């Protein structure tokens, strides 16, 4: 995740959500080159021209060097199934697209997404059961490493489920402000300090005015 110095991942109106440098974008593609699958939430794929793919030939070769398939699996998570079936991601058919949703998806949305994606998996009644979903992805699609690219509510759900092993955080030299601007982990959050996700710093490096920090779970 890339965030501003005040911890925001987008402006309050969501109009600005891409603000990292070229180096930050390269870092993202390098991370994708280590993962079997890349996952994002409904808002991320519906509101931006993203394909969640591996990038150019350089990064596809890097994937092959790591012993992975040339193109990563793509996963979109939405408890309500409110994903735009005409989003850019569905126009790029280089690798399978999997939708994770819940039993509260409407019949119409389910029908539309089954036509747009390669598979729609219902994991949970009201909220996605990510432990169940990740077990299924491992068993059905051989996913051993999953890279999550947000947004904040999806990240928060993974933190709550204690499923995050590593956090790559780019701190960018900007201030967005706004109490309603999203952060890297939104949603309900933790009510008690004892329940908070605890991390330890693995590495820090500075590139120009950005800081690239890697955390591991304690």
Residues in the chain: 218
Q: Where are the domains of the chain?
A: 2-217
Residue among 177, 181, 176, 170 nearest 214 (CA): 170
Q: How many other CB atoms are found less than 10 A from the CB of residue 134?
A: 20
Note the pLDDT of residue 59. Answer: 98
Task: Give the Å distances, CA to CA, from 199 to 6, 45, 167, 210.
Answer: 19, 28, 9, 20
In a 13 Å sphere around the CA of 216, the CA atoms on its Cβ side amount to 3
pLDDT of residue 14: 86
Report long-range pairs for 102-110 (Cβ below 8 Å, ≥24 apart). 102/126, 102/127, 102/128, 104/79, 104/80, 105/80, 105/81, 106/81, 109/80, 109/81, 109/82, 109/83, 110/81
The neighbour count for residue 149, using CB atoms within 10 Å, is 19
Mean pLDDT, 10 residues at a time, over the chain (218 residues)?
Answer: 96 88 96 98 86 97 97 97 93 96 96 96 96 98 97 95 97 96 92 94 97 97
Looking at residue 18, its pLDDT comes to 87
Say if domain 2-217 classifies as CATH 3.40.430.10. yes
- Predicted confidence at residue 216, as pLDDT, reads 97
């Amino acid at each position: 995740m890339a965030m501003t110095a005040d911890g925001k991942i987008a402006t309050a109106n969501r109009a600005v959500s891409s603000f990292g440098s070229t180096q930050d974008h390269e870092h993202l593609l390098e991370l994708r080159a280590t993962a079997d699958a890349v996952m994002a939430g409904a808002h991320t794929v519906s509101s931006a021209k993203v394909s969640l793919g591996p990038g150019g030939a350089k990064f596809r070769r890097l994937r092959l060097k790591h012993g992975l398939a040339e193109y990563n699996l793509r996963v979109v998570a939405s408890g309500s199934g409110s994903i735009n079936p005409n989003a850019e991601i569905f126009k790029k058919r280089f690798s399978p697209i999997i939708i994770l949703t819940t039993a509260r998806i409407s019949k119409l949305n389910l029908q539309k997404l089954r036509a747009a994606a390669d598979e729609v998996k219902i994991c949970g009644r009201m909220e996605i059961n990510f432990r169940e979903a990740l077990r299924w992805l491992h068993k059905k699609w051989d996913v051993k490493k999953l890279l999550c690219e947000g947004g904040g509510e999806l990240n928060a759900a993974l933190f709550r489920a204690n499923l995050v092993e590593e956090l790559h955080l780019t701190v960018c030299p900007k201030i967005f402000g706004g109490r309603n601007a999203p952060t890297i982990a939104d949603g309900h959050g933790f009510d008690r300090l004892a329940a908070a996700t605890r991390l330890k710093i693995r590495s820090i490096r500075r590139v120009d005015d950005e800081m690239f920090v890697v955390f591991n779970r304690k």
